[in-house]
Each structure stands twice: as structure tokens, then as C-alpha cells.
Chains A and B, each alone.
Chain A
């Protein structure tokens, strides 16, 4: 990796948190949200945390869709809280979405980026965040009003507070590389769509 510039200006501490504990510690009550989860790890863990509940739309493709799907959902349902959970690789693919979301500023949308600094599904290559790109600084620059970075358990309580209160927020949860929670989930997107809509219609 000597060919790639390791970015020094952000000076991020090495990640120490294991996502299998850190994600449930941050998102204590996923059932309080309508959830859009990105590819791979984040969709797996939100599916596992909710026992494959219908109010979780987990992506299996269309990388980078989650933040803007969350925005469309949040604008459609201002009476519900919407949570986007995405990996760093997927978010890097759609950084402009942070700007598009900031200028809407929906008070019922929260974005959590589970940042392991790697492309875990494709051979564990370093992602740009693993080389020092700071997504919290990008979110702040985009104009997200509340931005919080979690490097250790000490910053977890503030993240939970942001998720519990109204207001658009972005939380960068930095974790070590390693497996996410595993669960068998349906990969048929039309089934996931239909059951999500049906559950939401039934809930009113």
C-alpha cells in the first residue's frame, strides 16, 4: 500500500471497537426506526438485530443507495423516525448525498456510518477511510447539523442521545475490521419492498 497516500491531516486514532458489540450498543432500539441498511455488513447486522423485521430494508446491490432512500422515506413519513445504516465503502460512493440531505435537513433522519476502513466483501482492501479520509469532517462540511464520531465506548452515550432526539444527525462509528453479525436474510428485493410497505401500512 506504499503507493497510496496515507492521509495525515485527519489524525484519526486506530479503531478499537468490535462492530458486533458496537453497533447494538449504539442502536439500542432499532424497532423505533424505519431502517434502510447498506450492503453486506450493515444489512446483515440490522437484520440480525431485528430478527429479520419487515421495517428494515437491507440492500444487496445498488451500492450507495441507502442515504438517499432514507431521505425519500423520511420526507414521505415525517411522523416516523428513519435510520440509515451504511458502511464506509458505500457512503464513499455517494458523498454528494450528504449535501443533498443537508439542504433538506429532515428532522426525522439519522445516518450511521459503520466505518471499518476496509472493503470487507471483496478481499479486505483498504478503503479511503482506512487511509485516513475522515467522513465526519466531510459530513460536517456538507452541512449536516449534528455530527459525532465514535472511536471508543466513551463516545457512545452521545451517539445514543443524538439517535434518541429529533434532528438530522450523522454518526461515524469507527470499528475494527472483522465479521458482522451473520443471519440468513431474504435477498429478493421485491419481497423486502412489499413486506416493508405492508408493515408500514398496517402500522398506520
Chain B
């Protein structure tokens, strides 16, 4: 499978992930823009049957997905690792009310990161998500992305869990600085 180019979003698996999410009944795509999610964002904007919801901060997405679930709909939160820190108290809602939760996190501050500002939050993503009851699935190989998202969909919407798929920099590449 082609290398993922984080600036252009070119490679096959983002399209496969979008199609998989839609087949699984996901209709609300919430995001703070990130190059790592460019294809999913653009596909959701072009999709007449999906809601594409740009957020001003990631915690809004946690609340949005809870509201979607109250109405019987499914959503996904697309964010960069830096946005995870913005979500933490709002995940009280997810954990307390046992809302299903699905997030795809494009990682910064890990494998090969050239911007030192990204390390504190990037390295804290998994421990703080786990501390709030979110199960993390780390993906490092292109062939593992679609199976990991499929697994996360089952965990979230069949088993009612909170799940984040961490798309590591080994997978999506480090942004050059």
C-alpha cells in the first residue's frame, strides 16, 4: 500500500476508512481540521447523507457524539493528538453516561517528530485517554488501519465502549520541520 502523505492525504486507506465508517452507519463527522484527516473531512463535506461538523475545540465533539447517541445516531471525532488534551473533562460525560465513543487521532509528538512543542501532549495521549476510560488502539502499519477501525466500530457501537484509534507517526509520517 502506498505511503501516506500527511500533507496531501494521498493513500488508499483513508478512503477505505471513510467507506467503512459510512457502511457502519456513522453519519456525524466532527473534527478540528488536521492534515492527517484531510480525506475523511473532504469526503464528509462532499457526502449529502453525512453531517460534516467543524468544531472550534475538540471537546465540542465529545458532547456532539453524546447528543448523536441520544438521538440514535452514530458519530466519529477526528482530531490531532494535541486535541486530546482539550477533551479530558468532557469525557466525564462519555464515561458517566456510558455513551459509545469513537475517535480517530492523528498523532504528533511521537516517532520522528521534529517539533518539540508536540511532545508533551503527544506522549500523554494514551495515558490520559486511558485514565478517562477510553481504550486505545495504536496503528503503525497501513495494512492494520482498516481492521483497527473495524474493531473500534464494533467495540464502540456494539459493546458500548469508548475507543480511540491512534494513527501513529510511523504510519502517517512525521511532518518535516
A: which residues have CB within 8 A of B? 34, 36, 57, 59, 61-77, 80, 94, 96-97, 99-100, 103-104, 189-190, 192-193, 196-197, 200-201
Give Cα distance in the complex from A201 to B60, angstroms.
25
The 6 sampled A-B contact pairs (Cβ below 8 Å) are A57-B70, A73-B70, A96-B56, A193-B99, A196-B70, A200-B70
What B residues does A72 contact at CB under 8 A?
28, 63-71, 73, 75
A192 touches B63 (CB 8 A): no
- Chain A contact surface mostly: helix
Given contacts A100-B56, A189-B96, contact A65 B63 (CB under 8 A): yes
- Given A76-B71, A193-B98, A201-B72, also A100-B53 (CB < 8 A): yes
Instruction: Determine which of B55, B61, B68, B98 lies in contact with A73 in the assembled complex, contact meaning CB atoms within 8 Å.
Output: B68
A34 to B67, CA, bound (A): 11
B residues less than 8 Å from A193 (CB atoms): 69-70, 97-99
The reply to whether B99 and A104 form a contact with Cβ atoms under 8 Å apart is no
- Distance to closest chain A CB from B58 (angstroms): 11
Could you say which of B51, B67, B72 contacts A36, with CB atoms under 8 Å apart?
A: B67
A57-B70, A71-B64, A72-B75 known; 20 new pairs, CB 8 Å cut-off, are A34-B71, A36-B70, A63-B89, A68-B64, A68-B67, A69-B63, A72-B63, A72-B65, A73-B67, A75-B71, A76-B68, A96-B60, A99-B56, A100-B53, A189-B93, A189-B97, A190-B97, A193-B99, A196-B70, A197-B72
Chain A residues with Cβ below 8 Å from B70 are 34, 36, 57, 69, 72-73, 76, 193, 196-197, 200
Compute the total of residue contacts between A and B using a CB distance below 8 Å. Answer: 118
Interfacial chain B residues near A190, Cβ < 8 Å? 96-98
Closest to B90 in A: A62
Residue of B nearest to A77 (CB): B71
Cβ of B51: which chain A residues have Cβ within 8 Å of it?
75, 104
Instruction: State whether B68 touches A75 (Cβ < 8 A).
Output: yes
Contact present for B93 and A61 (CB under 8 Å): yes
Report the separation of the CA atoms of residues A73 and B59 in the bound assembly, to the nearest whole angstrom. 16
CA distance A67 to B63 in the complex (A): 8
Nearest-neighbor residue (CB-CB) of B68 within chain A: A72
Q: Which residue of B lies closest to A193 (CB)?
A: B97
* Chain B residues whose CB sits within 8 angstroms of the CB of A63 once the complex forms: 89
Tell me the residues in window 45-59 of chain B with beta carbons closer than 8 Å to chain A beta carbons.
51, 53-57, 59
Within the complex, the shortest CB–CB distance from A62 to chain B, in Å, comes to: 4
B92 at the interface (CB under 8 A from A): yes
